[in-house]
Amino acid sequence: MGAEASGSGPALRELVREAETSLLECKVCFERFGHRQQRRPRNLPCGHVVCLACVAALAHPRTLALECPFCRRACRGCDTSDCLPVLHLLELLGSALRPAPAAPRAAPSAPGVLTCHHAFGGWGTLVNPTGLALCPKTGRVVVVHDGRRRVKIFDAGGGCAHQFGEKGDAAQDIRYPLDVTVTNDCHVVVTDAGDRSIKVFDFFGQIKLVIGGQFSLPWGVETTPQNGVMVTDAEAGSLHLLEIDFPEGVLRRTERLQTHLCHPRGVAVSWLTGAIAVLEHPLAVGTGACSTTVKVFSASMQLIGQVDAFGLSLFFPSKITASAVTFDHQGNVIVADTSNLAVLCLGKPEEFPVLKPIITHGLSHPVALTFTKENSLLVLDSAAHSIKVYKVDWG
């Protein structure tokens, strides 16, 4: 009986945490719902739930007209009502929602630990962003998201410099972007799950090439040092290398590098060694739950490192769910972890896994990572609709 109780503890904590993040926080301001007036959960007529403070912020001051931030349905602030199921859930969980004591962590000023220096984007500027890339020539930040114009380019100060890629069904439009990369000659390459294609634009947003009919579900995309394009196909379980004449807008060659991957999504290429990291998302047998595996191949596609969620659990006290992967300038594999809201260094592939948390605070749902030439780490936080810039804080 005692064993059952001790075994149920982590599962219960996981359930409470899932309820807190999925049901008990406002998805506009990401503040926790509560019984206080400003944080009371309110039903919109469309069925979406936001806090009273966000209803007041979104409503027109005179007419009280507002638009649902999720489905865009028009309504009035006075048409909202208390969301009783959420209020009842708050009462039922009660003290279980009080924050647990923080686990011991490395001091923020320790070498290698990163702290957030600033952030840009935010709700409205970005809407549910999914992919992040840097232009190697200009240093500008390129993000794909669910806005009316799917591709947004930010300057060094975090201001919006340009946007393009209309939401629509035309061949040159972008239906549902999953990832983005910028080539060495400043072309923007987007994976579009809506029509299962790869779309190539110049840096000003002019369509150059649409590659359709070759992929079941193109997902991750990354540029190689030789200006090739790596693409994962999540449904086909494959990894592809595309050779494209970007100025002419012509696909020269497609090579299938791997064919037996388990639902591969994220992909990264080390510019130091040429190594290729792939994030797999296999389904756990009998549960339907999704796990993650990090595989690293050499430039000649030999498997040189691999670690799955079970292997990581031997070094870390809680479940790790890798949502993004990149390499740092020393060739270390870096992953974003949505279970612990952290970023972890796994070490070099031949040392797997040397687990070291490098970001442990300030993230809500990290989905993409990239390093700048100055060694800052950019983290795309989908739940906060923003890009967060982390640097080593030497105290």
In a domain, 105, yes or no: no
Residues 166 and 40 in one domain: no
Least reliable range by pLDDT among 32-41, 90-99, 139-148, 374-383:
90-99
Q: Where residue 87 sits, what CATH number does that domain have?
A: 3.30.40.10
Structure tokens at 251: 């696909």
Give backbone dihedrals phi and psi of 284, rounded to 5 degrees, phi first. Answer: -70, 135
Q: Are residues 68 and 172 in the same domain?
A: no
User: Do residue 46 and residue 127 come from a single domain?
Assistant: no
Q: How many domains does the chain have?
A: 2
Q: Is residue 98 part of a domain?
A: no
DSSP structure class, residue 365 = -
Rounded to whole angstroms, the Cα distance separating 334 from 326 reads: 5
Q: Are residues 39 and 130 in the same domain?
A: no
Q: Are residues 73 and 217 in the same domain?
A: no
pLDDT band for 395, please (50, 70, 90 cuts). very low
Residue 1 lies in a domain: no
Angle CA 207–202–225, to nearest 5: 125
Domain ends where: 65, 93, 121?
93
Are 287 and 347 found together in one domain?
yes
pTM above 0.75, yes or no: no
Which of 105-109, 208-212, 289-293, 366-370 is predicted with the least confidence, judged by mean pLDDT? 105-109
Q: Specify whether the CB–CB gap between 190 and 129 falls below 8 A.
A: no
Residue 40: which domain range?
10-93
pLDDT in tens, 323-359: 999 999 999 999 999 988 999 999 998 887 788 899 9
d(CA 377, CA 242): 27
Q: Within a domain: residue 323? A: yes
- Do 303 and 347 lie in one domain? The reply is yes
Confidence of residue 10 (pLDDT cuts 50, 70, 90): low
